[in-house]
Structure formats: structure tokens, C-alpha cells
Amino acid sequence: MIKNDLFLRALKGETVERPPVWMMRQAGRYLPEFMEIKEKYDFFTRCQTPELASEITVQPIRRFGMDAAILFSDILVIPQAMNIEVQMKPNFGPYLPNPIRSQKGVDEVIVPDVEEALDYVMQAITATKEKLNNEVPLIGFAGSPWTILCYCVQGQGSKTFDKAKEFCFTQPVAAHELLQKITETTIAYLKAKVKAGVNAVQVFDSWGGMLSPMDYQEFSWQYIQQIVDALKEDTPVIVFGKGCWFALKEMSQSGASALGVDWTCSAQNARYLTGGNITLQGNFDPARLLSPPSEIKKMVTQMIHEFGKDRYVVNLGHGILPNVPVENAKAFIDAVKEYKETH
């Protein structure tokens, strides 16, 4: 049994004494102990070495005692397993030297045996569970098929993902075939993670907000729905679509356990759009962690008041920034732990 199951109880919608808290990208770049490892090993070596991935995963738990750990990994391990070369360039980000821009490119993409191709992730889960020693739950994650397609077609990060959209709009048959291959791989991958021991999964649709509501349905949501349908009986599923407030109503009827909300959508709107009966997660602006600690604490307390303490997981509205001072991250976590509902 997990000693601190606050996070899992909040996902079930149970009444809790305070909301649970964790931070997207909490395992990483704002921590000095992470930077020490980063100096010695390149990005994918860290992802592919179970001992390193598990160590990085538990670092923030040791330091701050969040209510959940999230496995250190990357959404782009999926395309790597599918026969698509992905590099991580320092001070640049992901780089795919052979972007997919044609039916021929899609034909060359495989649906792998994930247990084999991504065995290092499963080993990292085993190693992490051992280190966590049932203190807190472990979250596994994957990118949404649309978000993965964005990188596969664009070949790198982008402000607009214009090439990815062009591919979908000019070659929809090839685009849907690629999305389906990514979806099947992702379902198998997340199921393997659950089998390996994660306690919940999160789907990150980081670039969902790039699409109009109509295109979102066609090129993103229907594939996320397949993932939710395949996983929801096995484990709680959290869906986080950045910039996707327009889809919150439909998301709330998907069978997901919780929905992530970014900082551009107020608590009131998020509760209204989701009908008030699903757990929400978010939505502190990561840049606000640059405010003074005393101010962070006030804002976090206010945020909990607005969302309500039940059916709520305190988090950021996107990943933590590398330049956030450690004491500011601590203020964010402490504010939640010190929270007492004022009647």
C-alpha cells in the first residue's frame, strides 16, 4: 500500500484534508543535484539508463516531499522506438534529421514491440518504485499523438508547427495513418508502464492549442480518446491539453480521471466547462514561481480557494522553468502542505 495516497484519492474524487501537489517537470533542470548529473551524461543517456532516470525521478521527492513522483523520461522516446531518429541538441531542443513529410515516410514508421524497444523505461519504473519504497505514487506519461506528430513532421520545436499542420491539411490520409500508428504504440507503451508499476498516467497534449476546435477534434482529440478508452480500466488517466480550454467539456465526458488546465483558463471557467464533477489539475503560471516566496504562497492559497480543495490537484499550468530558484519551488509545495480550509 502507498503510504501517502492523497493524489490517488483526489483522482477518485474522494474528500481530502488538503489537495495533493506535484509539478510538471519537477524532476529536473531547476535542481542543483539534477544539474550535476546533467553535466556528466547527455539527455537520452539519462532517459535510457534506469539508474539515472530513477535517481532523477526521486530527487525532488527527497527535497520537497511532493505527493506524487513523475518518471523522468521524454515524450520523444516513442518516435525513437518507431524507427524515427530523434536527437536532443543542447541549447536547441529536439531535432529530427529526417522529418516525415510524405506517405512514403509514414510507410517506413513501425509499430514496435514496446516491451522490447522501451524496456529501459520499464526498468527505470522498477528502480524508481524501489527507491520510492511506497511513499508516494508514481506517474507515467506520454505525449498525445498530435503532439508527437508535430515533432515528427516539423523536425524540431516551433511556435506555429506550420509544416505539421500543412501535412495534416494537404495529406490527411497519410497524417491519420501516422496518428493511428502513434496511438497504437502509445497505448501499448502506457499499458506496459502500468504493468511495470506506475500508479497513474498523464497524456500531454502540449501543442493541442495550435489547432482550431474543429481541427482539434479531427487530428488530436479522437486519438486521445482511444488512449483513455484503452487505459481507464487499468489506471487513472490525466489528460493535459495546453491551450485546449475549448475542448474541456468534451474531455470531461471522456472517462479520464482528471484534466490538466493551463494558466490562461480560470478555475471558475474550468469548473463551469467541465460541469464541476471531474478532478482538475493546475494551473499556476510557471513564470509566477519567479515572484517572491511570500507572494507565491498567497497566490497558491488563493488558487486552492478558487478550485476548491476536493477534486483538485495543485500543479503548474505547464512545466517548471529552469531559472526558478529552489526556495520558490519549495514555497509553492509548502503553501499546499500548510493549507487548511478556513471555514
62 is in an annotated binding site: no
Contact 122, 189 (CB under 8 A): no
206 is in an annotated binding site: yes
**CA dist., res. 237 & res. 244, Å (int):** 17
Cell of 277: 464533477
Among 131, 162, 305, 324, which Cα is nearest to 336's? Answer: 305
CB atoms inside a 10 Å sphere around CB 102: 12
44 is in an annotated binding site: yes
DSSP character string of 305-320: HHH-SSSEEEEESSPP
Q: Where are the alpha helices (DSSP H) in the chain?
A: 6-11, 32-40, 43-48, 50-64, 77-81, 103-107, 114-117, 119-132, 145-154, 162-170, 172-196, 213-216, 222-231, 248-252, 267-273, 293-307, 326-337
318 is in an annotated binding site: yes
For residue 263, CA distances in Å to 182, 186, 224 come to 28, 27, 22
Looking up cell 490537484 gives 313
Contact 213, 154 (CB under 8 A): no
26 is in an annotated binding site: yes
28 is in an annotated binding site: yes
Element (H, E) at 257: none
Q: Which residues are annotated as a binding site for substrate?
A: 25-29, 44, 74, 151, 206, 318
Q: Which residues are annotated as a binding site?
A: 25-29, 44, 74, 151, 206, 318
